[in-house]
Structure 1
Amino acid sequence: MTHIITRACCNDASCVAVCPVNCIHPTPDEPDFLTAEMLYIDPETCIDCGACVDECPVSAIYPDDQLPASQLPFLQINTDYYKDHDVEGGIVKHPRPPQLPADELRVAIVGAGPAAFYAAQELVKKSQIKVDMFDRLPTPYGLVRAGVAPDHAQTKGVEDTFAAVEKKRNFTYHLGVEVGTHISHDELRERYGAVLYAVGAPHDRHLNIPGEDLAGSIAATEFVAWYNGHPDFAGHTFDLSGERAVVIGNGNVALDVARILATDPELLASTDIADHALAALRESNIREVFVVGRRGIEHAAFTNGELLGLGEVDGIDVVIDEAELTLSDEAAAQEADDTLDSVIATKVRLAREFAAKPLVEGNRRIVFKFLTSPVEITGTDSVSSVKLVRNRYIGDGKIEATDTTSNLDSGFIVRSIGYRTQPVKDLPFDEASSLVPNEDSRVLDGPGGAPLPGVFVAGWIKRGPTGGIGRNRLCGEQAAATILLDFANGALPTPTTDAIDVADLVISRGAHRVDLQGWKRIDAAEREAGAGAGRRRVKITSIEEMKNVAGESEPVGDVVGGA
């Protein structure tokens, strides 16, 4: 018997560390880890010990004889990976951590998403390190709460890992506190030996085509935040009265948007989707969602697991025209001699299988278009259609537009072509790369400049908006390792002010500070409301209501864990 990793894999690599035979790859020490869609178990090496099952935070690993029917394709996907990958890298070994001084170190972490939490997880293992985490929202967990699709409940299981960190005695929440408003960067540096920014990339990229700003043309970031109950977007409304929506881009977020639009709302009613979104989707007339990608299937940005997942949703047909599955000359040649990368080969195989499936009358449809780009969005006061151009490969995976154009009528167009970072107040920012300049997580005073002692970055603000939970875990751990190294080497500045005054300071400036107990009250209220409706939780989407439920923060003291 072997074990199988399935679609819910979050790439956080907890399983790698406990595997006694090195059968799970790619490991964090291997180059492919940074771009891997998921992790894979080698069936020839696995000894069926089950250690990975207990360690997986999202319950994505099963013995092969216990696979749910919907996950059976992952038997082949795990096996296919090892057609052109091996397990010869050896057991993952981590370097011995540096010897730390006995002095106390206080670390401020700005942001409460995955990169922030994985950094905190490493830091709070050291009893002399105290971590204070800041976030402008009264709720933590970042994109795990506000970005992971509501019908991906397994992925949200990583919240349990974060909950274990927040309970540590040397961890303190300052939620509902905006750095730059309620406390400045300089004030953090005065109070903490290290300040780590893990604030993500909250904005969307633009198409830069005519008509993009018409009503009915929106960013996926906005729509995802809306259906996930982010309080900044809870009051938004969308016109879903037409029968067709168009999603520009074909990454996993694009597939999330398409799936939520096409899924029977009654199937979503058991998830933690925001109530306002569920009500709007129940009134929606959308029956067909086009997903448009500028390059071919071999370069599609979605993962194989997410594509497979579309086929598991009752009432949805995945529509792919076989003629759309044109390969570049290079990929076609590699496919012919069986040297095409196994992950790409799987993507092509799955797409062809969908293309061969018959359509079911009455089903909603998600229609894929490859090698197609938008050139103009048309309409008078609001969107009425999008003009598309057909592309072709010209060598080395590059494309160019042809003279073939078409129009898709639609009153709702969602662009999902990636995220972008924005400058962080009082930190250097490289406009060319759209990142905070850094080296090994240390913030530099400019591109190629000198490190700013005690200031660090992790996550998308450090490296750009790429990778999910797994890569953010690695990034957070790397930042923590750099902080520990600088602490061991005496390279961190000594605070000039005691951080004990932070809670009073931010409250005096208008923050309604939410501590661990306040967050627990919000969490309990949401879960209680969800239990009554047969749901995981019913999210509170109003900042004011969150504040009321959280109540007042408790006094902060050196011995009050998680205050």
Structure 2
Amino acid sequence: MTRNRLRLAIVGAGPAGIYAADILLKAERNFDVSIDLFDQLPAPYGLVRYGVAPDHPRIKGIITALREVLDRGDIRIFGNVRFGTDITLADLKKHYNAVIFATGAVRDASLNLPGVGLEGSYGAADFVSWYDGHPDYPRDWPLDAREVAVIGNGNVALDVSRMLAKHADDLLPTEIPQNVYDALEQSPVTDVHVFGRRGPTSVKFTPLELRELGELRDVDMILYDEDFDYDEAAKAAVSGNKQVFVIDKVLQQWRQRSVGEASRRLHLHFFAKPLEIVDDGHGHVGAIRWERTAPDGEGGVVGTGEIRELPAQAVYRAVGYFGSPLPGVPFDKEFGTIPNHEGQVLTRDKESGDARQMYGVYATGWIKRGPVGLIGHTKSDAMETIKHVINDLGNWWRPESPSEESVIEMLETRGIEWTDLDGWHRLDEHEQALGSAEGRKRIKVVPRDEMVTISRGEA
């Protein structure tokens, strides 16, 4: 009796996609599996490579675990292939039994704030992509502000603030691209102000991220006494939550530090609700205006009516990421996700409006649940999706050309310069060689065409 065989396509070669592939291959099942990973970038690892600050080697160490999965040789990878342009949902139905979308969330969430469109107002996601050497972003970034405002109290806000305040020479041991170092080295920044509308016990960043701020060389941490007059709800949060306790302890230690000697300052403003990015009169950011908030006694805040303003020549919005729609795939415009039930993609019946399963189509990671949770949460998320992939065997697609060779023939016929795992190894070795020549671990190659040429052995 011939065993069933699942030909599975996964769109997105970041942690979500790789975890899903690994979990399926290790799962108990009564069918064989053949998996192809597709990614629009020439290199794998998604946001671990292009969304984690270069001075976070601990988090980037996740790449080691992901690489071990790919290097087993039981997963094929096709890089530099864009879904919706190079391949479509119809193509996948022709060659596979099912597809999992693991495309993440890489855009900035919108912020409805007057002045948000001024010159000098930036999305944090764009800035992160620039300093991480994403090939689809401009290689230049305007770093001409002395005073910078960062809106947000999550880990991305801290990453952005740290990268802006940190001296460029202290980033040289990392894999920072040369163009990014050159720009940061010339930055005139003296003050970075971080704004959060709630108090210190309600922040969304993690203790580790916070501690890293306090380790910056020649940067004073500036806190304001008025933000630490805790109400009973805040006191309860400190005593009843270990993470809040640690965060409070770090902040209290900073309050005891002497300041005034450093050339740069990083200010943390709590109970500060941004109201407007103020025009300098020439269409550029000139200041940020905010309202002082106060605890409402239940863990939230209310406005006090006290309005303040601070000079700033640049504003970075770090209020979250947002998913992007995919051609032919349902999309929830409100939440920036693919509608789904535990990873099974849902579509709306045109006549009744009822939600029903879109057989053969699944989602995992941030495009499934929204941009919340750390990278580790992605693994349990993938397990839930894979459970349904296995159980839905009777509803898989029945492809007309399921052979592994037929996919390569399709890409070659279309003239797509795809990259594979051997290509990533070539690029990886090349980047490490560039770094070694400068006494560094790695220097990223940024231009897409150069990445592809090196990966395909055509350099």
Q: Structures share a fold, TM > 0.5?
A: yes
Select 2:278's aligned residue among 378, 386, 389.
378
Equivalent residue number for residue 18 of structure 2: 117
Q: Distance in 2 between matches of 1:279 and 1:426?
A: 42
Secondary structure of 2:192's counterpart equals: strand
Contact kept, 8 Å, 1:124 with 1:168, in 2: the verdict is no
CA distance in 2, matches of 1:151, 1:497: 45
Shift of 1:304: 1.1
Report deviation, 1:393.
Answer: 2.0
Where does 1:31-430 land on structure 2 (aligned, <5 Å)?
Answer: 102-125=3-26, 128-238=32-142, 240-332=143-235, 334=236, 339-379=239-279, 380-430=282-332
In the alignment of these two chains, the number of paired residues is: 447
Moved more, 310-319 or 272-281: 310-319
The answer to whether the Cα contact below 8 Å between 1:328 and 1:397 also exists between their aligned partners in 2 is no
Deviations 1:541-561 (A, max 9, x none): 0011111111269xxxxxxxx
Indicate if the aligned counterparts of 2:322 and 2:335 stay in contact, CA closer than 8 A: no
- Shift in Å, 1:369: 0.2
- Alignment partner of 1:190: what SS? helix
SS at match of 2:149: strand
1:53-88 residue CA offsets vs partner (Å, 9 max, x unmatched) = xxxxxxxxxxxxxxxxxxxxxxxxxxxxxxxxxxxx
Task: Report what 2:420 is aligned to.
Answer: 515
Q: Is the 8 A contact 1:513 1:552 kept in 2?
A: no
Distance 1:541 1:343 in 2: 37
Structure 2 gaps of 5+ residues are none
Q: Are 2:135 and 2:448, in contact at CA under 8 Å, matched by a contact in 1?
A: yes
Deviation at 1:137, TM superposition (A): 0.9
The CA deviation at 1:339 is 4.6
Percent identical = 35
Of 387-396 and 107-116, the range deviating more from structure 2: 387-396
Letter of the aligned partner of 2:219 in structure 1?
Answer: I
* CA RMSD across the alignment: 1.9
Aligned counterpart in structure 1 of residue 333 of structure 2, from 420, 423, 431 = 431
Describe the superposition over 1:18-77 as per-residue Cα deviations: whole angstroms up to 9, x where unpaired: xxxxxxxxxxxxxxxxxxxxxxxxxxxxxxxxxxxxxxxxxxxxxxxxxxxxxxxxxxxx
> Is the contact between residue 54 and residue 174 of structure 2 (CA under 8 Å) also seen in structure 1?
yes
Measured at CA, do residues 216 and 433 of structure 1 come closer, stay the same or move farther in structure 2, by a change above 3 Å?
closer
For residue 128 of structure 1, give the secondary structure of its aligned residue in structure 2. strand
Equivalent pair of 1:250/1:293 in contact (CA under 8 Å): yes
Mapped contact 2:337–2:370 kept (Cα < 8 A): yes
The question of whether the paired residues in 2 share the 8 Å contact of 1:129 and 1:170 is answered with no
- Aligned residue identity for 2:185: R
Which letter does structure 1 place at the counterpart of 2:429?
A
Matching of residue 449 in structure 1 with residue 355 in structure 2: yes
Comparing 544-553 with 409-418, which one deviates more in the overlay? Answer: 544-553
Q: Quick one: distance in 1 between partners of 2:129 and 2:455?
A: 22
- Secondary structure of the 1:168 match is coil
Q: Residues of 1 paired with 2:402 and 2:7: CA distance?
A: 10
Following superposition, the deviation at residue 434 of structure 1 comes to 3.0
Alpha carbons 1:297, 1:326 under 8 Å: kept: no
Match of 1:461 among 350, 367, 373: 367
Match of 1:495 among 380, 387, 399: 399
SS in 2 for 1:154: helix
The residue that corresponds to 1:475 in the other structure is 381
Counterpart residue type for residue 32 of structure 2: Q
Deviation at 1:377, TM superposition (A): 1.1
CA distance in 2, matches of 1:441, 1:198: 10
Of structures 1 and 2, the one with the larger relative CO (CA 8 A, separation 6+) is 2
Q: Given that residues 192 and 495 in structure 1 are in contact (C-alpha distance below 8 angstroms), is that contact kept between their aligned partners in structure 2?
A: yes
2:392 to 486, 503, 523: 486
Q: Cα offset for 1:448? A: 6.0
SS of 2:4's equivalent in the other structure is coil
Moved more, 282-291 or 350-359: 350-359
The CA deviation at 1:242 is 2.9
1:385 Cα deviation from its structure 2 partner: 1.0
- TM-score normalised by structure 1 residue count: 0.76
Could you tell me the TM-score, scaled by structure 2's length?
A: 0.93
In the alignment, what sits opposite 1:530?
435
**Matched position secondary structure for 2:61:** helix
Distance 1:242 1:436, change over 3 A: closer
